Structure 1
Amino acid sequence: MNDMSITDDRQVAHIFPLRFWTDFEGTDGAELREVDWVEWTRKGSQNGTTTSDKVIRVQKDPAKWDAIKPYYRAWKEKTEAVIEGYALDAWPGVTAQQAKVLKDRHVLSVEDLANSSEADLVKIGLPGIRLIQQKAKAFLEARKSTAPVAAEVAQLREENKTMREELEAAMQLLKELNEKETSRRGKAPKEDA
């Protein structure tokens, strides 16, 4: 069973942290020290087995640590972990019900789904999950290939907006100059006294 995916030439474990907590260790009257713990499960599992370990030990395994680190940091900062990748809720490739099932199984992003192993897909238990995974992979590939075009379109829109503002300012200035010229011509010449 492959519990890893490759992201940017490094492996990331397909695990999801369920909870973090702090215990205290110390012996023979020594000052107690805080020790952070994590309990995790494999992505895709529903009521599956869990593993608990000291965070310091998990940090020594780069594949596991890469999967757990953002959640651990968010826990330490008392914030909610940011979903890494394209959120399932924003992706039109799944229904709201499918997204809920996937999130209940700790698959939070399109990238999580695309990188899920065959064993993870079986555990998810959604009808047509392999087709949904293929759509996720195609979506990510399309995003990657259209990203430069989208950036160029955004830049052109910004340039267009700037030009429109400059044109409006020039038209306003021209209008003001025309009004001054018209009012100056409309006055009778001054007579010498």
Structure 2
Amino acid sequence: MADEKSPLVIILGFHQTFERVPVKGDELHDDVDARGFKLDEKGKRVLEAVEVDWVTYAPAHSPMGANTTERIRHLRPTQEIIEGENAEKTRFMLARWSAIEPAYEAWRKGHELPVNGTPLAHWPGVSAAMAAELRKYNILTVENVRDLAETQLERIRLPNMRDLRNSAKAFIDNMRNAEAAEREVERDNEVASLRAQLEEQNERLAAAMALLEERTSPADAVRENDIAALRAQLDAKGVKYHHKAGAETLRALLQEAA
């Protein structure tokens, strides 16, 4: 599905190289130069091979513009930059890194690069060959096609690019409408489920109230009062009776006592 939040850059790929870099030394135990790098017996800097990760990206607003390839370590916002006074630079670096970081982590784990938007493969409006041609221009999503400027349309070697751009816009609009309709159906189903639960609770409450009324009906109250009165008369006469005896049994005991 399309992402409503537009990324700052489009990730085109990553690669890795190996470089030899000077090693930082321990001033107490190593020979070091003025910059603190470790020196060997001949007074030359000690070098070690390290991995260097690179990313190639293009501006999201102009995927057909010039590509940029930079070291990953130069793109990570440092704490110094985050706490710096140049707020505009900080916002730019954070926004750029937020687009690069998830793709970089996926690449490091050997996974496919995530696409910010609707991949061309999900769009029936282009064939596999057309999608491959669009990727040559760093156009990876339907949203990229929709957002192409007039000057960019003329540079792409595909027929009827304006119609294709209009088709991309219609596809995105229809997809959003379908998503909205799906959310509406989900809301309706949720409301129906809540209503059913409420009706069931009301039925249970009504049954409980009916049972309570039955147990505390006036007839029951009168019956309990009669039993209490009979017990009091038997107690006055000193007649013993079972504590669970009903009214009829108690009346019979009174008649015998009389």
**Which TM-score band (shorter chain)?**
0.5 to 0.7
Partner AA of 1:108 in structure 2? L
Aligned length: 151
Counterpart among 5, 8, 12 of residue 12 in structure 1: 8
Partner AA of 1:58 in structure 2? L
C-alpha RMSD of the superposition: 3.6
Greater Rg over alpha carbons, structure: 2
Counterpart among 104, 114, 119 of residue 72 in structure 1: 104
Asked whether 1:100 is paired with 2:117, we answer: no
1:119 is displaced (CA, Å) by: 4.7
Separation in structure 2 between the aligned mates of residue 83 and residue 17 of structure 1, nearest angstrom: 10
Residues 29/79 of structure 1: CA separation in 2 closer, same or farther (3 Å cut): same
Aligned to 1:57: 74
Larger deviation, residues 27-36 vs 86-95: 27-36
> Does the CA-based 8 Å contact 1:102-1:124 persist in structure 2?
yes
Q: Name stretches of at least 5 consecutive residues in structure 2 with no aligned partner.
A: 23-44, 78-92, 197-258
Partner AA of 2:128 in structure 1? A
Q: Name stretches of at least 5 consecutive residues in structure 1 with no aligned partner.
A: 1-6, 164-193
Separation in structure 1 between the aligned mates of residue 115 and residue 7 of structure 2, nearest angstrom: 18
SS in structure 2 opposite 1:124? Answer: coil
Give the TM-score taking structure 1 as reference length.
0.58
Percent identical residues: 29
Between structures 1 and 2, the one with greater strand share: 1
1:17 is displaced (CA, Å) by: 2.2
CA displacement 1:94-146 (0-9 Å, x = unmatched): 23332232234332221222233445434332122222112212221232233
Residues 134/67 of structure 1: CA separation in 2 closer, same or farther (3 Å cut): farther
1:80 is displaced (CA, Å) by: 1.0
Residues 125/105 of structure 1: CA separation in 2 closer, same or farther (3 Å cut): same
Give the TM-score taking structure 2 as reference length.
0.46
Aligned to 1:134: 166
